[in-house]
Amino acid sequence: MTETTRSPVAAFPTWPEEARRRYRELGYWTDETFAEFVADRCARFADNVAVVGLDAHGRETRWTYADLAVAAEQAAARVATAGVAPGDRVVVALPNIAEFVAVVFGLFRLGALPIFALPTHREVELTQFCVTADAAAMVVATDDLAELHAVVADRVREQGIEPPVLVDIRGWGDSLRHGHGAPRVRPAGRAEEDIAFLQLSGGTTGTAKLIPRTAADYLYSVRESAAICGLTEESALLVVLPAAHNFPMSSPGILGVLHGGGRVVLAPDPSPRTAFALIARERVTDASLVPPLAQAWVSAARRRTPDLSSLRTIQVGGSKLADSVAAEIGPVLGARLQQVFGMAEGLVNYTRLDDPDELVLTTQGRPISPDDEILIVDEDDNPVPDGAEGSLLTRGPYTIRGYYRPGDPGGGPNRDSFTADGFYRTGDRVRRLPTGHLVVTGRDKDQINRAGEKVATDEIEGLVLAHPDVLDAVAVGLPDPYLGESICLVVRTEPGRPRPDDLVDRLAAAGLASYKLPDRVEFLDAFPETHVGKNSRRELRQLLTQQLRPADDQR
Ligand code: AMP
Ligand code: DBH
């Protein structure tokens, strides 16, 4: 055993005492921890099927809750054998495989904190997670990430931090479910108001923002989400999006289903072909999609007439769903649409299953909790008149009060993203209807939402500006009928000098996740400026949308 000695979990900006007492009195916060959640649901629903999907070796897997308990215990034991101790942070970068659930539940059991990375993250992102959180291990199941570990380890070491150990779960073989292998570890758990895991923010800056969530706050949102979405033991949720993302994890997601005794069906890829086959075979009742996938399902279903008769509800969220696509979901897929507007920082809005069609088709829902405080403000933080558009600020029983920033809890993004009285600045522009439903109308934040994947513009710009021939660079999101927004990189170079044609390749070589790579690159001799002389993103976007040739995929 290579025992690591990591820094303790850092203090984090938490809710004031009065709010915590109130959330407990109202029953929103209970004393259930994640370790108890795992033990309780696995025992209560022991004979139900919990997880269906492929494993790390591509074999069909079907685990009952009892099997899942054994697999989680084994995963905990194996991660502990690799040197991970309770309180350690662990980067989980797994595809949608059965072991994903076992590893996450195992880490909860061990009292270690998962950092929910995506399998598409590369060394830029993974290094940031490891450095910010002093991660003890990186859990992977694919060749590319196993190979990347060495690069990440070097980069982490360069910053004076002990690199994470590599845990490649393919080496675990198929014995997880059979409960032999590593010696058992005692469940350690963490207190319900301690940080249980770190989610990721799509972010607006080049540095990753880690989101500290507790069992008390998160499980409240999970229980309510399961109720709002009508999940029961009969529910079967198809997980098409990356499982670690906050939406498929909790809205109502994997945890909502496992809370209620239902079945999680993991899709190994997001294609309609794969999804439709699983829906028919597993009698799937619910699926969570981003708008481009919803659109792809609609057009594929028109061509193929698959058997979708078991489908009850399709949750769509992550980016704005066009009203025209919303209108097609019911008629073509034969399921009720439920719009979801959420964020890993907390606040989640749903249209309700019994809402009138008008609201379901044209709004992004209303908050989970009566105690979700919604403020819609102008640029001076003054409330706008009822029904007017403004910037959304929120505070409540499951919305964080600050990002995880060891050593600097009050600084940087926590100053910018939270008001003095604890409201989270979502960066979204919304309008509120008299029913309380929100309509997302736009965004203040310097972020591109490409098919639900959030990209901070300055992360791309910062890397491009390092190129010797680039004088200035701005990344803008351009309207795209399929992606919602595509990424356009606009570059200014020295007039008369050759224009670099390798910018996208360089970004990839720098180790940026592929979903952040520009869809196209344009060169301009001058950038439009705001009155204070900054580059005007708004005017650039207008210029590009109107004047340039229609987007053609340069990838
Ligand atoms: P993140 O903070 O990375 O978890 O991303 C959350 C952001 O995704 C929100 O603040 C919105 O900008 C966007 N988002 C999520 N769901 C929706 C939706 N249904 N409609 C529009 N934007 C959405
Ligand atoms: O986009 C998101 O981050 C998101 C969307 C829907 C989310 O975090 C959620 C629901 O919980």
The span from the CA of 505 to the CA of 384, in Å, is 45
Q: What is the pLDDT of residues 183-234, one digit of tens each?
A: 677 767 689 999 999 999 976 676 789 999 999 999 999 999 999 999 999 9
Q: What is the pLDDT of residue 422?
A: 97
Query: Which ligand sits nearest to residue 241's alpha carbon?
Result: 2
Interhelix angle 143-158/123-133, nearest 10 degrees: 50
The span from the CA of 194 to the CA of 9, in Å, is 9
For 130, the enclosing helix (H) or strand (E) is helix 123-133
Phi, psi angles (nearest 5°) of residue 43:
-80, -45
Closest CA to 262 of 294, 246, 239: 239
Task: Quickly state the pLDDT bin for 498 (edges 50, 70, 90).
Answer: confident
Number of C-alpha atoms within 13 angstroms, CB side, residue 390?
21
Report the separation in Å between the CA atom of 377 and the middle of ligand 1, taken as the mean of its atom positions: 18
Q: What is the pLDDT of residues 411-450, one digit of tens each?
A: 788 889 999 999 999 999 999 999 999 999 999 988 999 9
- Average pLDDT in the 297-311 region? 95
Q: Cα 4 from chain centroid?
A: 28
Protein residue whose Cα sits closest to atom 8 of ligand 2: 343
Residue 173 has pLDDT above 80, yes or no: no
Tokens representing 520 are: 């196209």
Residue 8 has pLDDT above 70, yes or no: yes
Residue given tokens 């996208």 in the structure block: 504
Q: What is the pLDDT of residues 252-286, one digit of tens each?
A: 999 999 999 999 999 999 999 999 999 999 999 99
Exposure string for 91-123, b = 16+ CB within 10 A, e = fewer: bbbbbbbbbbbbbbbbbbbbbbbbbbbbbbbbb
Residue 551 has pLDDT above 90, yes or no: no
Report the separation in Å between the CA atom of 498 and the middle of ligand 2, taken as the mean of its atom positions: 42
CB-ligand 2 contact for 253 (6 Å cutoff)? no
Residue given tokens 């979405």 in the structure block: 229
Task: Quickly state the pLDDT bin for 181 (edges 50, 70, 90).
Answer: low
CA-CA-CA-CA torsion sign (511, 515, 516, 520)? positive
CB-ligand 2 contact for 246 (6 Å cutoff)? yes
Q: What is the pLDDT of residue 341?
A: 98
Which atom of ligand 1 lies closest to the CA of 344?
4
Report the separation in Å between the CA atom of 344 and the middle of ligand 2, taken as the mean of its atom positions: 6
Residue 554 has pLDDT above 50, yes or no: no
Residue given tokens 């200035």 in the structure block: 472
CB-ligand 2 contact for 256 (6 Å cutoff)? no
Q: What is the pTM of this model?
A: 0.94
Residue 503 has pLDDT above 50, yes or no: yes
What 3-state class would DSSP assign to 5? coil
For 459, the enclosing helix (H) or strand (E) is helix 457-465
What 3-state class would DSSP assign to 363? coil
Q: What is the pLDDT of residues 102-158, one digit of tens each?
A: 999 999 999 999 999 999 999 999 999 999 999 999 999 999 999 999 999 999 999
Report the separation in Å between the CA atom of 272 and the middle of ligand 2, taken as the mean of its atom positions: 21
Phi, psi angles (nearest 5°) of residue 31:
-95, 15
Query: Which ligand sits nearest to residue 250's alpha carbon?
Result: 2
Report the separation in Å between the CA atom of 484 and the middle of ligand 2, taken as the mean of its atom positions: 16
Q: What is the pLDDT of residue 553?
A: 46
Among 251, 255, 288, say which to mutate for ligand 2: greatest number of ligand atoms within 8 Å of CB.
251
Closest CA to 132 of 83, 194, 201: 201
- Average pLDDT in the 471-475 region? 92
Which atom of ligand 1 lies closest to the CA of 202?
3
Q: What is the pLDDT of residue 398?
A: 98
Percent share of the chain, pLDDT over 70: 95
Residue 2 has pLDDT above 70, yes or no: no
